[in-house]
Chain A
């Protein structure tokens, strides 16, 4: 075994740092897009909107049944074609791997978040709906002010755990040759041949971020549990 030389990692740090920032940005965008869109998808299923509800059900089941890597390949191939049709001239619009990653993660995570929220909606006590009706709240107000806040609060530990998994899954953009934290490490490793140091260091970075985040989620869960649940 060659002696390990971690000074190489120090030199490479700016590049790795930019990779980490990309991973975090991808996580943040996918979280926001996924949660907003996921809530919409969950509501569509919850209200059993004709046709659309079934379509959404199928979409969520499909996304949850196939590997994320395959989804990335699908979107890399499909999004330019769909955009081409939308723009009217029918020619594929090349959008590049970065946009593909953001779009894919947003749409993919929406399926997972929607499932969490859908289960949450079902768990809301019936009395809450009845009380809203008694107060003559409109359906919109009922959901906006009473139901969804409770669902999000109860589901927040799972939503956050899911987001930690999402952060780890962003490493899969490696298959699109993007420069996220793992991509940066692998590109440098190919250049300088120090792949042992590179991969060990980023493993520790992922480990530190994910387990710190898990600890936060665990303590949040204790602090913000709705009394009596």
Chain B
């Protein structure tokens, strides 16, 4: 059934090479986008929990904006609108970035910042799930606000939210497909191109589906591995020592904050 993938294309490659190149773009977007999302998400998530009202309001504004505009619309804003509203010289410079990169960078920024808003909500949920005693103990030890976050709150919160971050990892690699709308030839776009070139739609989409399934499995297993490695002892599923309402308790429906919204 997949034999057609080994046939020659018009440009002298094989169809499978198209798929592999698509997979490369998908992985690059997901991987680098993830680190942008993680860095920004942690900072914004912390911002939502600090005492300073202005910072908390800004962080909240960020989350509201980036979570409530569809990712496809955000993609268009970065790709079509941003170069137009920047000063002309800068806008033109952006428009002249050569093809794959001209789509790749807007897609990267878009997915990174969009996913960051979702991660920020998880981080906030994680921080809020920590017992109050942690902060009180830190201040009893004379730790400053920064040191409390750096050494007490954030490390614990991040370890708590790893299970729910899994769905964000799955989310970002699935959302990479939205980049095809701005012309990036990632996996789904390549599958469609193969289907149009060969009329073997079933094979083309089937191959892409299998690759996505494999990626999902890897992401899921990888996150489970990380979770086991860094889990705070005594907070395994169903035996939460911290407090029943941690975001870890993905099995208990009453506890799912909107952070648990499933991503597509």
Chain B residues touching A, majority SS: helix
- The verdict on B58 contacting chain A, using a C-beta distance below 8 Å, is no
Cβ contact of A66, chosen from B86, B209, B251, cutoff 8 A: B209
Interface residues on A, range: 35 or more
The stretch of A93-101, A136-144, A201-209 in contact with B is A201-209
Interchain CB contact under 8 A, B261 and A206 = no
Chain B residues with CB below 8 A from A161, complex form: 258, 261
Chain A residues with CB below 8 A from B51, complex form: none
A151 to B209 alpha-carbon distance, docked (Å): 33
The stretch of A48-56, A127-135, A171-179 in contact with B is A171-179
Interchain CB contact under 8 A, A74 and B205 = yes
Interchain CB contact under 8 A, B188 and A1 = no
Cβ contact of B70, chosen from A155, A171, A195, cutoff 8 A: A171
Interchain CB contact under 8 A, B181 and A175 = yes
A229 to B255 alpha-carbon distance, docked (Å): 9
Chain A residues with CB below 8 A from B70, complex form: 168-169, 171-172, 182, 206
Interchain CB contact under 8 A, B191 and A199 = no
Chain A residues with CB below 8 A from B216, complex form: 64-66
Interchain CB contact under 8 A, A207 and B68 = yes
The stretch of A7-15, A28-36, A112-120 in contact with B is A112-120
Interchain CB contact under 8 A, B254 and A206 = no
Cβ contact of A196, chosen from B80, B188, B208, B264, cutoff 8 A: B80
Q: Can you list 6 contacts pairing A with B, beta carbon distance less than 8 Å? A: A65-B212, A66-B209, A112-B264, A174-B181, A203-B69, A210-B67
- The 9 closest A-B CB pairs, nearest first, are A67-B177, A65-B216, A210-B68, A168-B70, A171-B70, A67-B174, A123-B253, A66-B212, A69-B177
Supplied contacts A67-B177, A70-B191, A172-B178, 6 more A-B pairs, CB within 8 Å: A66-B213, A66-B216, A116-B262, A151-B253, A175-B180, A206-B70
